[in-house]
Structure 1
């Protein structure tokens, strides 16, 4: 009797375990349900599919156009035998047919080796119609870490491609009399930043991909132009992006100030270049202090400025804003100044009796 009870418990536990595994596998999803990859006669464009749990074997419905290969769990992952199961798979567009043939499609299937649960991902192959550059900001400071610029590509319907990994791009920092040496490109390996594997491979070959790093060298406005290198895409228009590079400027004193009528205050203007402080000479390089009147104060100056000495003199009661300006600065450094009439109050005294 005891043995029968024990067997029943084991069977129940196995049943519960099996049902749990099946339920979890059915909740598992791919990181993306659909892919849009570009055609290329030069390289394979890759994308990595991932699942959260289980171990899946992978199959492509059109292996001559879209291949799928299992990847190991190591970092960086490596290719496994096509029959191996994994939680990651490398999907690659292999189409070498002419771009005019239009949009092609393939189905990627992954099947769990334990539960038989099947995952599906539709992969569409099309040609690039337009490219754009995206970035978190268009203003750089000369002492900031490099800025990342990325290319996104669109098909003729305005749909965004899932990956551009493997495609080569030409990045050019436009240089002329006004913009020479304002920016420079930085390799990911030099900056110490982590980057996609395909970017490191291109950098090692002296090429650039869809992601680059750019740092500001000196103040000014620079143009960066990017275009596709693949001859099949010679008809895709290059795209330009305008970047403003600015020294990080400081005023000292940096706080709001009250000045007595007729008094003066000298400011110090300085900037940081590679963590070192450097004094800024007003009138040189386009730097200047400018007074912005309060609209309610009338047309007369509240304060005057001596640009040579960076000295502000209070000439009339009222309020004004002092701004440090430069042609490349989008957001000025400002302080508020109030000119007030001086008053006095006698100090209390105590009589002393000897």
Structure 2
């Protein structure tokens, strides 16, 4: 496919020294070579392209698939970032090419953009165990196409997170309401952590995105479940992850101790709650 000739933006004489400096300081680079974005009838899913080595003009070969808008920072007319937005109205695989042209040298950088439907979702977690009243755990949705490729962004898409019963629970007849006593799904605005800007906006609108925080209230196990809250994806199965809440209990001293015959040492049992050591209990002396 022959690409149309790019249109150069207007460059003022005062900008040339800056452009030359940027061009000579770093090589020409894009942050990613390919981007896979999900089709959505309710949201134009965005993605930010970033270029190095100069100031750029941007264009897309298919505006019906994806549009691109330059980002100007710090009041300059120099663009090193651009905002991609999906525009496809068809639930089928489409592609486009985005070209970034450096304004002084004419150097071209290329990024392939693919828009496709989500086939399945998973929950990404750093651990399956959390402690009572300790730091919350962040859970993130990963979406895959029919070939198992991971989507580059789910920014702004609405999800529904919930708590479900664990089949291995000691009391399988425990009502679902009781499970909310084990876990709490937090908003980022309720915790001391900084989410992406789109999550902040979604929380203000009382919506849930592809990231949440979960904290443990008391010991036990349950299933955290998430599904896409969009009619297009009603047949996509929910993703599940089993989490276990434990007491953060440890011994003091917590290191290996070697004793002579006839010697003894006193141990303490303690637990950490909200970052503080509480519940100190002395054990019977242990001798060697």
Does TM-score exceed 0.5, indicating one fold? yes
Question: TM-score if structure 1 supplies the norm length?
Answer: 0.65
SS in 1 for 2:179: coil
Instruction: Using the TM superposition, give the Cα deviation of residue 55 of structure 1 relative to its aligned residue in structure 2, in angstroms.
Output: 1.1
Mean CA deviation greater in 250-259 or 50-59: 250-259
Separation in 2, partners of 1:252, 1:31: 48
Alignment of 1:95 onto 2:76:
no
Whichever of the two has the greater Rg, that structure is: 1
CA shift digits 1:28-55 (9 cap, x unpaired): 1110011111100010111100012311
CA shift digits 1:9-43 (9 cap, x unpaired): xxxxxxxx999876667x31110011111100010
Match of 1:291 in 2: none
Contact 1:70 1:85 (C-alpha < 8 Å) held by counterparts? no
Separation in 2, partners of 1:58, 1:124: 17
SS in 2 for 1:198: helix
Separation in 1, partners of 2:19, 2:270: 69
Query: RMSD of aligned C-alpha atoms?
Result: 3.0
- Count of aligned positions: 260
Alignment of 1:206 onto 2:206:
yes
Separation in 2, partners of 1:20, 1:202: 40
Contact 2:20 2:104 (C-alpha < 8 Å) held by counterparts? no
SS in 1 for 2:189: helix
Match of 1:59 in 2: 59
Match of 2:196 in 1: 196
Q: Which of 151, 163, 167 pairs up with 1:173?
A: 163
Separation in 2, partners of 1:24, 1:254: 52
Match of 1:41 in 2: 41
Match of 1:238 in 2: 238
Separation in 2, partners of 1:18, 1:216: 52
Instruction: Using the TM superposition, give the Cα deviation of residue 205 of structure 1 relative to its aligned residue in structure 2, in angstroms.
Output: 0.6
Match of 1:157 in 2: 147
Closer, same or farther in 2 for the Cα pair 1:62/1:18, shift >3 Å? closer
Closer, same or farther in 2 for the Cα pair 1:146/1:160, shift >3 Å? same
Contact 1:21 1:115 (C-alpha < 8 Å) held by counterparts? no
Contact 1:58 1:85 (C-alpha < 8 Å) held by counterparts? no
Separation in 2, partners of 1:225, 1:18: 50
Alignment of 1:116 onto 2:106:
yes
Separation in 2, partners of 1:107, 1:73: 24
Instruction: Using the TM superposition, give the Cα deviation of residue 211 of structure 1 relative to its aligned residue in structure 2, in angstroms.
Output: 1.2
- What aligned pairs does 1:293-312 form with structure 2 within 5 A after superposition? 311=284
Q: Which of 72, 76, 79 pairs up with 1:86?
A: 79
Alignment of 1:128 onto 2:118:
yes
Contact 1:264 1:311 (C-alpha < 8 Å) held by counterparts? no
Separation in 1, partners of 2:125, 2:66: 30
Instruction: Using the TM superposition, give the Cα deviation of residue 161 of structure 1 relative to its aligned residue in structure 2, in angstroms.
Output: 0.7
Match of 2:185 in 1: 185
Separation in 2, partners of 1:148, 1:21: 38
SS in 2 for 1:87: strand
Alignment of 1:142 onto 2:132:
yes
Contact 2:134 2:273 (C-alpha < 8 Å) held by counterparts? no
CA shift digits 1:230-278 (9 cap, x unpaired): 11001110011011111110234545364968x9987543322224544
Question: TM-score if structure 2 supplies the norm length?
Answer: 0.79
Tell which has more relative contact order, 1 or 2 (C-alpha 8 A, sep 6+): 2
SS in 2 for 1:201: helix
